[in-house]
Every structure is written in structure tokens, then in C-alpha cells.
Amino acid sequence: MVLIGEFMLRIGLSLLLSCYGLSAVFAVDGMMSEPISPIPLTITVDAEKIALGKKLFEDPIFSKDNKLACSDCHNLEKGGADNRFRSLTNSGDLDIINTPTIYNVAFNIRFGWAGQFKTLAEQLNSSLHNPRHGNSNWEALLAKLQDSADYADAFQKIYGRQKIQRLWVEEVMIEYQKSMTTPNASFDRYLRGDSQAVSETAKRGYRLFKKYGCIACHQGINVGGNMFQKIGIFGNYFKNRDEINPTDYGRFNVSGLEEDKFVFRVPGLRNVELTAPYFHDGHTRTLEEAVELMARHQLGREINEQDRDAIIAFLKTLTGEIPVKAFYVWRP
């Protein structure tokens, strides 16, 4: 285990993200009284595995005919998503659901908009096979990796002289995804006791976020990501849409239960200013609209402009340090 470059400069506690999905209890700098907790300033990772995971994440090798890399849709410079209504699939069509961010993914309790995957390994398996994403399979991927002198060499360095195994690919890619955290947001600095870190408007916005009740669903380290809720508790969210698509049924598609219709995993709101358009359907372009829709459909309230803008000022303080710069060095 090695502490990598930039993280080392971030003083604070060192924490191993030990889970492949289930939320861990994070003991954080003594600020546990608030319903939102800061992202740890450092994480302990295996630098070699992460470098290899990053290389794979950015390499179209995982898709059939080498068409799409994970990072084509989960673009690290676009908030970990791609700012599209829907991503382009490997056949050039539009995807059927908006692409969520890859940042802070390890803090979610389930993966996918409907929480259809229990672990990042299950999710990865789906990315590989999904006809719109990888459209491939393990056999094809492992053969391509084994044929590449670069990859064969890199895996050997970590795991020894054997044929590349699925488990190794899972391990390095998941290790990399777990490292994609965005610490040190101004709101986190505020939570840690720096009262000057956010503006008075943002502070008011946070109070309103709690007072309106947003916090009932968007809470914890990811300001979401830890429960399932229906979209449209008050009034029909879909009434202004031409049609309802299969993906709109959310968890119903997973469980088949009537009460799971239109239920989604509450998304985390970290870096939300970078990840427009919003909601699973990607229909909402601005935070203004998103906050108004949430107040109306989740809380049964119309929100005035001033309150809305204060909440947005708060949401913008959730933007953390984006690990865009490649500080994971590929060992010569």
C-alpha cells in the first residue's frame, strides 16, 4: 500500500476505502453532528493497481472492436460524466439513460440509477457485456489484454507470471474507481470548522436544504447515494413528458414490485454543478430547474427564487478537488 502523490499533500486522516460498495462508517474529524460528512482528505491505495486501472479505464480495449473507453462516457474533465442528455453508445445511438458520475462512486450503497448492482464488480461485468457499452465479454477482453505486451507486462509486475485473470482486471479497475474521490470541497472545509470557507448565502442555502427537507434524502458523505426514493412523491414527475420509457420505472425493473415503480437510488450531489443535465432521464438542464422540480415533486412545495438560489449556492460548495491531473505515475 502506498500513499500516492497529490494525496500525500492533503493532510488529514488516512483511510482505506475497504468496501466494494456498502458504505463504511467513516470516523471523520469530529464533525459527526451534521447529516453530511466530509470526504476523507486522503485515501490509501495501491499505486500500481491504480495506474493500471486508470489505463484500462481510458482504453477502448474493453469494448468490442475497441470503440469505447469507460472514460468516453465517464469523462474525468466533465464531472466524471459527459454532460450529455444521453451518451453515445458503441453503435453511435443514444443511450437509454443519462450517464452518472464516476466520482465518489465508492460512497454509494448500490450502483446504477436504480441501484441494480450490489457491487462495483457486478457493475463492471455489466459495463463489459452491455450491448450499448462494452458489447463484449471476459474471454474477448482477457485475450486482448494477454496479446498486448504492455498489459501482460503490467499485470505480471503486480500479480506474477500467469495468464491475466478476470479477478485481476476487476481488482485494478475497482481500486481505481474507488480512488476517484473529490475531497476538500469548500463545504467540507466548512464542516471541518473553517467558518469562512463558504459564503453567507451558501450557509443560508444549507439551512434551507435542511429546512425544506432535501436533507431527508440527500445526506451522508455523498449527499445522497444511500437510499431509494420515488421520483414524484407529490404529483406526477412524468406528466410533462411525451412517453414513459422502460428505464423510467426504476427499481421496478429490478424487483418487479408495484411499489418500486419510479423509485431510484437518490443520487449523490457532490460536484453536482459539473454534472448537468440532471435526473435519470437527463431532461433537466439547469440546477435552477432541478431544485424547483425537487421542491415541487419531492416535497410538495413551490420554492421562491431567493431560496432556490441560496440552495444552489450551497450545492456549488460541494464541488471538490477533481483528480483530473494524472498524478498516478506509470512505473517505467
Question: Where does this chain bind ligand HEC (CB under 6 A)?
Answer: 62, 68, 70, 72-74, 87, 89, 95, 97, 99-100, 102, 105, 108, 111-113, 120, 123-124, 127, 132-133, 173, 177, 212-214, 216-218, 229, 231, 233, 264, 266-267, 269, 272, 275, 278-280, 290-291, 294-295, 298-299, 311
Quote the least distance from Cβ 67 to ligand HEC, whole Å: 9
Closest CB to ligand HEC among residues 137, 194: 137
Angle at 233 between CA 232 and CA 234, to 5 degrees: 85
Closest CB to ligand HEC among residues 4, 294: 294
Quote the least distance from Cβ 332 to ligand HEC, whole Å: 26
The closest of 53, 12, 64 to 188, measured between CA atoms, is 12
Closest CB to ligand HEC among residues 186, 222: 222
Quote the least distance from Cβ 295 to ligand HEC, whole Å: 4
What's the CA gap between 143 and 152, in Å, rounded? Answer: 10
Closest CB to ligand HEC among residues 70, 313: 70
Q: Which long-range contacts (CB under 8 A, 24 or more apart) does 208-213 make?
A: 208/307, 208/310, 208/311, 208/314, 209/311, 209/314, 210/35, 212/295, 212/299, 212/301, 212/303, 212/307, 212/311, 213/298, 213/299
Which residues lie below 8 Å from residue 330, measured CB to CB, with a gap of 6+? 51, 55
Closest CB to ligand HEC among residues 113, 328: 113
Cβ contact 5:45 at 8 Å: no
Quote the least distance from Cβ 166 to ligand HEC, whole Å: 13
